[in-house]
Amino acid sequence: MKYTYPAIFEPDDGGWCIFFPDIGYGATQGDDINEGLEMAQDFLANALEMLKKENKLIPKPSNISDLTLENGCFANFITVEMNPKNVRKNLTIPFWLNAAAKKANINFSQTLQNALKAELQIQE
């Protein structure tokens, strides 16, 4: 799943300090703009992973035009793709339920994921 958030780049001793107003968890930095962009992606991916581990809601991204920027600062969108690590699980269900689900073309994996998210009150 892809996530895109605005980041604020603030000049800092010849480099850049980068933070995400919607995310929290501090800031990151880069010696130049290319390193700053790379560090921002890494920071965003780690922060989103932390929110998921803590069962916190993933915040909705702000509109970049609504951000207030200090002199010399600029905002840029940062996109990360989160590839969840999958774990294989075996399950046992009644024969008749398996037959009915197969006949209805039910995706067992997706159905189980949806049910677990609902049970754990996890929203994405």
The pLDDT tens digits for 89-120 are 788 899 999 899 989 999 888 899 899 989 99
CATH of 2-81, one of 1.10.443.10, 2.10.10.100, 3.40.605.10, 3.30.160.250: 3.30.160.250
- Model pLDDT, residue 87: 75
- Model pLDDT, residue 72: 94
Contact 23, 44 (CB under 8 A): yes
All CATH 3.30.160.250 domain ranges in the chain, comma separated = 2-81
For residue 119, what is the enclosing H or E element?
Answer: helix 108-120
Estimate to the nearest angstrom the gap between the alpha carbon of 93 and the chain centroid.
33
